[in-house]
Amino acid sequence: MTIFPPAGPNWPSAFKTTFSEAARFAEENETPWSRDLSQVIGQGHFEPPPWNEIIGHVRPRGGPAGLIVLGGKIAAEWGDTSRPDMTFSCAKSCISMTIGLAMDDGLIKDAQDRIGALVDDGGFDSAQNAPITWANMLQLTSEWEGELWGKPDIVDRNRDLSVEGRNSRKGEARPLKAPGTYWEYNDVRVNRLALAALQVLKRPLPEVIKTRIMDPIGASKTWEWHGYYNSWMEINGTLMQSVSGGAHWGGGMFISARDQARIGLLMARGGRWNGRQLISEDYIRNATTPSPVNPVYGWLWWLNTGRARMANAPEGPFQAVGAGGNSIWIDPERDLVVVSRWLRPEKTDEFLGLIYKAIS
């Protein structure tokens, strides 16, 4: 029998002592970040002044937390998994899911269509931006040029995740490439994608995710998804806030580890939940297909193609990743979901290795 956890705190469990070492490892390897996240953001961890100005909601974080879900049951759990914490770029994967829902509904016909054909707000009019497709934005190869919510795209140029927080070149100008030819991790452009999705769906993305995904999978009522204080626009006479795909300037998704595990379980099971197809298998297949420019990245989901990112884990799983050690690891083949919060990012591969060693 396939197990889906009911709504509420009573998630079926089958704790396995074989995962005790992995759980202990996660608790003992907390990110060095301050628990006062306004200090991390405001003191320029991501951007130097003046681009580090906080323009969205920020809260202190909790300690290390997470859970291992195997076969729909909690096999291990540590920390406060019900606490809704900021999750940084894990929110990017939720933006991807809203695009998937728009495709499922036929609002976006093809990922290779130009965004400017549907979104007429001036953001895709220039010679640089006009050719940009939905796939380009989803794969982080758009090379979109402009400013959004007071943040220029240049803040993301020359970004290198391997030295996040220590990259002196981040924000340096570089010549832009043709859309679809150059991969660069970014936040301003992902926020531009979220705004485009809002204009196509004509509903706030948190409302779309709540009604189409979170409520049907039994998520708690504690999660929130914020934009910025200035990221509002009028659609059909109603003011709506455009959300962010990260939290470099505040805002973003505030969510518990348990709610993230529910999202992971939905994705691991092909978008189905208790007999209902909530998001299409076509979307999941496309979202987890290696992009032409970066084989370890799909549609705002990280991949492990060739085991290039996580050598101690299999090739097939995919992952939502957020700064500060936030992760949803999804392994459909083994019906495995691993959520880890505030784990040192450089320890993730070793942590996953302990889990797969326990499974084998």
pLDDT number for residue 272: 98
Per-residue pLDDT at 168 exceeds 80: no
pLDDT number for residue 297: 98
pLDDT number for residue 162: 76
Q: How many angstroms separate the CA atoms of 172 and 184, rounded? A: 13
pLDDT number for residue 273: 98
Instruction: Please list, in sequence order, all residues whose beta carbon lies within 8 angstroms of the beta carbon of residue 101, skipping any fewer than 6 positions away.
Output: 201, 208, 212, 213, 279, 283
Q: Where are the beta strands (DSSP E) in 10-156?
A: 65-70, 73-78, 85-86, 147-148, 151-152
pLDDT digits (tens, 9 = 90+) for 5-59: 999 999 999 999 999 999 999 999 999 999 999 999 988 788 888 888 999 999 9
Per-residue pLDDT at 151 exceeds 90: yes
Instruction: Please list, in sequence order, all residues whose beta carbon lies within 8 angstroms of the beta carbon of residue 317, skipping any fewer than 6 positions away.
Output: 304, 329, 330, 331, 332, 333, 336
Report if pTM > 0.95.
yes
pLDDT number for residue 143: 98
Give the model's confidence band at 288: pLDDT under 50 very low, under 70 low, under 90 confident, else very high: very high
pLDDT digits (tens, 9 = 90+) for 236-277: 999 999 999 999 899 999 999 999 999 999 999 999 999 999
Of all residues in the chain, the percent with pLDDT exceeding 90 is: 91
191 versus 160: the higher-pLDDT residue is 191
Query: Across all residues in the chain, what is the average pLDDT?
Result: 96
Per-residue pLDDT at 167 exceeds 70: no
Distances (CA, A) of 33 to 22, 63, 203, 286, 323: 21, 11, 35, 34, 10
Per-residue pLDDT at 106 exceeds 70: yes
Per-residue pLDDT at 105 exceeds 90: yes
Per-residue pLDDT at 125 exceeds 80: yes
Give the model's confidence band at 161: pLDDT under 50 very low, under 70 low, under 90 confident, else very high: confident
C-alpha R_g of the chain:
19
